[in-house]
Amino acid sequence: MPSSTFFNLEKEKQTKLISNSLKEFANKKYHEVSINKIIANSNIPRGSFYMYFKDKEDLFEYLIELNTKEINKIIKNLLIANNGDLYHTFKMLFEEITKKYYKEEAIGIFKNIFIFKSLRNKPVENPHHDLFLDIKDNINTNNLKNESLEFIFTMLMHSLFLSIEEFSLTKDYEKTKRKYFQKLDILCYGIYKEDN
pLDDT averaged over 10-residue windows placed end to end, the chain, 196 residues: 91 94 87 93 93 93 86 91 95 88 64 64 62 88 82 89 84 92 92 67
- Does 196 fall in a domain? no
Counting the structural domains of the chain, the total is 1
Q: What is the pLDDT of residue 180?
A: 96
- Does 158 fall in a domain? yes
- Does 38 fall in a domain? no
Q: What is the pLDDT of residue 114?
A: 64
Q: What is the pLDDT of residue 50?
A: 94
Contact yes or no for 163/170 (Cβ under 8 A) = no
Total-model pTM: 0.76
- Does 80 fall in a domain? yes
Using alpha carbons, select from 154, 151, 141, 160 the residue that is nearest to residue 96: 160
Q: What is the pLDDT of residue 116?
A: 66
- Does 27 fall in a domain? no
- Does 180 fall in a domain? yes
Structural domain that includes position 149: 59-189
Q: What is the pLDDT of residue 146?
A: 67
- Does 83 fall in a domain? yes
Q: What is the pLDDT of residue 172?
A: 87
- Does 20 fall in a domain? no
Angle at CA 63, nearest 5°, toward 74 and 128? 50
Distance CA 79, CA 89 (A): 5
